[in-house]
Structure 1
Amino acid sequence: MDDDPDDRAALTTRQMRITAMIVASALFMQNLDSTIVATALPAMAKSFHADPIHMSLALTSYLLSLAVFIPASGWFADRFGSRTVFRVAILIFTIGSVLCGLSHTLAQLIGARILQGVGGSMMVPVGRLLLLKSVRRRDMLAATSWLTMPALIGPIIGPPLGGFIVTYISWRWTFDINVPIGVIGIVAVSLYIREVRDSEHAGRLDLTGLILSGLAMALVMAGIETIGRGIIPWTWVAACFTIGLGAGFAYWRHANHTEHPVLDLSLMRIDTFANSTIAGSFFRVLAGAMPFLLPLMLQLGFGDSAAKSGTVTFAAAIGALAMKPLAQPILRRFGFRISMVAFGLLSVAFTAACAAFRPSWPVLALDAVLLIGGVFRSLQFTAFNTIAYADVPRARMSAATSFYATFQQITITLGISIAAGSLELSTAISGHVEPTIADYSWAFIIISLIGLVSVPICARLAAEAGDDVSGHHAEPAAPIDARSAPRQ
């Protein structure tokens, strides 16, 4: 039974699918961009005369920009309307893409990626909010599946398309292909998506909180990205951590005394939301590192071309897309807790298997490991992204999507930074001038161990957690026989 009277105004099944597909076009563009850029990093490093490992800044600058500005996305959506904000966000992302393609230095590229991140920070969470605020609670799992399935086409097309473009044309074209996708997305939003506005819950923008949280995330992540890598002096790294942690503590104090904080920490009192946020953070470190490590290992470690690298790495995305339709029946049959523990263990196992990759392996063997691993990571992401909102009241959905999306981007960014740092550390310890295949293996093992931490956290979920969303019902406890009960 629905607990939201707003369900009477929910979208029909057909409208939900159309809305989900349009929102998914934005996810498609972002995922396509991310996977193509990861494949193109070695070529861009050569063009800018930069260290390929330091090119992780092209990924982390974008993701960090997302994390800094996402907290305000829910407020802007409630204040100005989700459709309006979503449309403007697609436009900003598209303009940023054009500027990326025009960049001639790493600094220019990082600046353009930050602008892209500003657009992406509103585009993805507001798009998800458009959908979640428009469907019945019992339809959330189906809506999430419709939303993510088209979005997964980006990672499938991205690696081989990026490899082809980099090998035979120019890496600059990897950004230009976002332009027609962005234009189509803006037109579709204007024609088919209705406005969703909740101005009575918007309140005032927590500008102080936005500054403090943004400062904390930006400086701490900058410290993690640069520690031990010789990019900036040690004193600057220490200052980043000190000021960033201080800003984080100041935000915590501020949020506890503010009626509408930009990141509502009280959401962590909702068990399912807190579990998905914490466990999902460890899991996304693993997932965030994969698109960065694999192309580097295949191109720099194995000596493959960008085109060949792309044909291997897209196997994981094929597995993710192929398994999406089965997520709903699996969760309905086994429930969230059992499914998430199993998916987590299997995802970690197949990620760790990448540490054994060697140039002598047949391509089919590499594809098999990546494809099966992609299947289980996809199922785990569907579970995390659905149960996070299972018990969130509709009035708090904007705050929840902003909070959750912020932690998503922080931990994906952290995954890239940890992968790059692990690679450099292993290279330095082994005394190599350039990373060897063994160094990549150690990086895969480290991120797998971090991802493994998510499993016992998932196991702490209640057996009946998310049953209203998945349709699963845990076995009821055996009735107590009054005749055998002890007398008081």
Structure 2
Amino acid sequence: MLWIVAAGFFMQTLDTTIVNTALPSMAHSLGRKPLDLQPVVVAYTLTMAMLTPASGWLADRFGTRRVYFCAILIFVLGSLFCAGAQTLPELVAARVVQGVGGSMLLPIGRLAVLRNVSSGQYIAALAFVSVAGQVGPIFGPVLGGWLVQHVSWHWIFLINVPVGVVGLLAVRRYLPGGDSNGAPPFDWVGCGLLSLCMVAFSLALDAPLQASHAGWSAGLAAVSVAAALLYIPHARRSRAPLFRLALFREPNFSVGLAGNLVCRIGSGAVPFLLPLLMQLQLGYSPFHAGLMLLPAALAGALSKRWIVPLVARFGYDNFLLVNTALVGASIASFGAMSPGWPLALSIAQLALFGATNSMQFAAMNSVTLKGLSLEDAGSGNSLFSMVQMLSASLAVTSAGALLTTFERGLGSESTEILHAFQATFVCMGLITAASAWIFMQFAPHEARPAEGRLAAHKEV
């Protein structure tokens, strides 16, 4: 069962990163500019953010094995549709289908582990599954670059098919059935309001920053705010709201959500921007660009062991204040990259970003969730996962909008486009660094957290 869940998690995390190094080749094949393919990345993550809250209810209503089987099947079909897409709209629609399946892979997998593994072995089981989450981002850019360079970009999606087919057979054979039961009514109205809020806000940021589109962006932003405000009276009236308003009475949870959202917008833009910079401006091949992201992934995996002693010694407040600034500075430093930039210095920059970003995620996760009551833990974790995926979507949307704006302002020559990349990296670094002010609003809490509690909330 653990291998099945790990395989599903691997497919989900792999497809979050494998597309980035293939964007220039995909754009050339479809006759579009690389930045035109930004919706290909956003559609996947935004769909997952919208549908994740429903995954637990679906498992309760129809059974864990049945829903997990359908999730893999939808993901595989979406991958086939992506590989067969002939136009950009077709590819975006196929990524939405893929996101529908991906939105259920990790939550349902975790639920299957929770329901079938004893409490004494639960942490060890999740640690085993988490390895797949670490391997996916490490090999995703490299594998994507190699497939694009030596085969074709279609294979970054076709590679999911054999893995998915084996997963489908294994689910039928090895995953415990888990009878469906009387699930409580699902809050479809609340889910619809929050989904509308996320989609409208993302589209508002995605609209080109021109005077002719200012009204369109403002209107979408207003729709987003209105949907969020309408959720408040709905949640008060509903007997079983999607997310109880009582969640936000825990001050650290509210501050942590806001800090996570802002911080991840900057750090989440790096996997999208760097492969484009390296291939379009620095002359890297797709495979070379994928290899260049390895130092960040490896440093992130190695640095996870440092987070517990560092937070135990300095406390969340001091650690997040300093580490957030380091993450922002490392992102802004990518703006210094240019043709002829020393390879050793690039590797050092990427390693610094990977290490500090990995520790940042672990600390943010822990301090955000640790104050929730047992009654609110499940709902709070679901909302937190939703915010994580939303931030990944907003990161790409914001980075693309800034890059387009700077490119129009500076010009279309190669040198001006390089300057546009540099300015975008600086802006994204400043956005991440600004989240340090949000983390300073945390209510007083334990300065020396227990190691086990911190380790339980590390992001995989």
Is TM (by shorter chain) over 0.5? yes
Q: Find the partner of 2:201 among 217, 220, 230.
A: 220
Counterpart code for 1:289: A
Maintained 8 Å contact 1:74/1:401 = no
Q: 2:349 aligned with 1:369, yes or no? A: yes
**Cα deviation, residue 148, structure 1:** 3.4
For 1:395-474, what aligned pairs fall within 5 Å after superposition? 395-432=375-412, 436-461=417-442, 462-464=444-446, 467-468=449-450, 470=452
**Cα deviation, residue 315, structure 1:** 2.0
More deviation in 61-70 or 288-297? 61-70
Q: Secondary structure at the match of 2:231?
A: helix
**Cα deviation, residue 217, structure 1:** 1.6
Aligned length: 452
For 1:39-188, what aligned pairs fall within 5 Å after superposition? 39-131=21-113, 146-188=128-170
Classify 1:460/1:398 alpha carbon distance in 2 versus 1 (closer, same or farther; 3 Å): same
User: Could you list the runs of 5+ residues in structure 2 that have no partner in the other structure?
Assistant: 455-460
Specify which structure has the higher proportion of helix. 2
CA distance in 2, matches of 1:256, 1:208: 13
CA distance in 2, matches of 1:61, 1:293: 17
Counterpart code for 1:321: A
Q: Secondary structure at the match of 1:261?
A: coil
Q: Secondary structure at the match of 2:359?
A: helix
Identify the residue that residue 38 of structure 1 maps to in structure 2. 20
Q: 2:237 aligned with 1:257, yes or no? A: yes
Counterpart code for 2:345: A
Q: Find the partner of 1:203 among 184, 198, 201.
A: 184
User: Could you list the runs of 5+ residues in structure 1 that have no partner in the other structure?
Assistant: 1-17, 473-488
More deviation in 329-338 or 213-222? 329-338
Q: Find the partner of 1:349 among 318, 329, 338.
A: 329
Maintained 8 Å contact 2:411/2:417 = no
* Identical positions, percent: 33
Q: Secondary structure at the match of 2:143?
A: helix
**Cα deviation, residue 242, structure 1:** 3.3
CA distance in 2, matches of 1:168, 1:277: 42
**Cα deviation, residue 418, structure 1:** 0.9
Classify 1:326/1:195 alpha carbon distance in 2 versus 1 (closer, same or farther; 3 Å): farther
Q: Secondary structure at the match of 2:267?
A: helix
More deviation in 25-34 or 159-168? 25-34
Maintained 8 Å contact 2:279/2:289 = yes
For 1:276-287, what aligned pairs fall within 5 Å after superposition? 276-287=256-267
Maintained 8 Å contact 2:250/2:372 = yes
CA distance in 2, matches of 1:338, 1:470: 20
CA distance in 1, matches of 2:317, 2:119: 19
CA distance in 2, matches of 1:173, 1:59: 16
**Cα deviation, residue 141, structure 1:** 7.4
For 1:369-388, what aligned pairs fall within 5 Å after superposition? 369-388=349-368
**Cα deviation, residue 158, structure 1:** 1.5
Counterpart code for 1:164: W
Q: 2:303 aligned with 1:323, yes or no? A: yes
CA distance in 2, matches of 1:438, 1:23: 44
1:129-170, CA deviations, whole angstroms, 9 ceiling, x for partnerless residues? 455677899988776654433312112111222111111210
Maintained 8 Å contact 1:350/1:369 = yes
CA distance in 2, matches of 1:278, 1:305: 37
Maintained 8 Å contact 1:133/1:394 = no
1:346-385, CA deviations, whole angstroms, 9 ceiling, x for partnerless residues? 2222212111112212223212211221012112222333
**Cα deviation, residue 392, structure 1:** 3.3
**Cα deviation, residue 195, structure 1:** 6.3
**Cα deviation, residue 290, structure 1:** 0.8
Classify 1:188/1:460 alpha carbon distance in 2 versus 1 (closer, same or farther; 3 Å): farther
Counterpart code for 2:194: S
Maintained 8 Å contact 1:125/1:401 = no
Identify the residue that residue 294 of structure 1 maps to in structure 2. 274
